[in-house]
Structure 1
Amino acid sequence: MFTTTPVTSPEIIAGFQALSEPLRLQILDLLKEQELCVCELRDRVSVSQSKLSFHLKILREANLARSRQEGRWVYYSLNLPQFLQLEQYLAQLRENATMQPANQCSQDYS
């Protein structure tokens, strides 16, 4: 008998999708120590401004990073409550996993 999995919230989906890109993980790793402006991030990850902006936009849309403008500079920092939400999702998944053996297939796929 098949059971349906509840639909995961769009925030959870966006968070894990954002974490699936190595450059975005590198950006988050830099932000774990301090807030950084775009120019500092660009210099540290050695990518073009447009590529960096694209990835920062994804992190903001996933609510993993926050931005604030000060004069003509934009500063980025981690949004730690969103990371907690992802951690709680994983903890709940682990706690509720029953890991039953597979059922015998009734169709021949050869």
Structure 2
Amino acid sequence: MAMNSCPDPSPAVALFRSLADPARLAIVSRLAEGEVRVVDLTRQLGLAQSTVSKHLACLRDCRLVDDRAEGRQSYYRLTRPELLELLRSAEFLLAETGEAVALCPVYGDPVATELSAS
């Protein structure tokens, strides 16, 4: 599958940045299972309510999640099912590349990279 030439990579960069934070990726992974309230995310992920709310706002600004009110509760859900396919593709790519990405000297784990260089 060939990628379309994209003169402006900014949207792709923004998308991947929105997913690059471990907390946001954990939230997206949980939302892949279905709707959830902030209070449930805080319990399941062990994060403060303000942290979860901040990350949900970021994902909402990127139009990756949305919420619906039910009484006094808000339920969050993924808005784009394509995101799940992107994450599945990423998992496949990571499985195929082994530790190469994790040991990448630019973006990988600095401790693991230093250990492999020794």
TM-score, scaled relative to structure 1: 0.64
Does the 8 Å contact 1:36/1:77 carry over to 2?
yes
Matched residue type, 2:71: G
> What's the secondary structure of 1:34's corresponding residue?
coil
Find the structure with the greater CA-based Rg. Answer: 1
Structure 1 residues 43, 67: closer, same or farther in 2, change over 3 A?
Answer: same
Distance in 1, matches of 2:14 and 2:61, equals 8
Match of 2:47 in 1: 47
Which has the higher mean CA deviation after the structures are superposed, 61-70 or 18-27?
Answer: 61-70
Comparing 75-84 with 35-44, which one deviates more in the overlay? 75-84
Matches within 5 A, 1:1-110: 6-8=7-9, 10=11, 12-81=12-81, 83=83, 87=86
Give, in angstroms, the shift of residue 82 of structure 1: 5.9
**Uncovered stretches (5+) of structure 1, i.e. residues with no partner:** 88-110
Equivalent AA in structure 1 for residue 59 of structure 2: L
Output the amino acid matched with 1:62: C
Which segments of structure 1 move beyond 4 Å, counting only runs of 4 or more? Answer: none
Q: If each structure's helix is expressed as a fraction of its own residues, which one has the higher value?
A: 2
Contact kept in structure 2, 1:18 and 1:59, CA below 8 Å: yes
Number of residue pairs matched by the alignment: 82
TM-score, normalised with respect to structure 2: 0.60
- Identical columns (%): 40
Gaps of 5+ in 2: 1-5, 87-118
Amino acid at match of 2:44: R
| Cα distance in 2 between the residues matched to 1:54 and 1:42 | 12
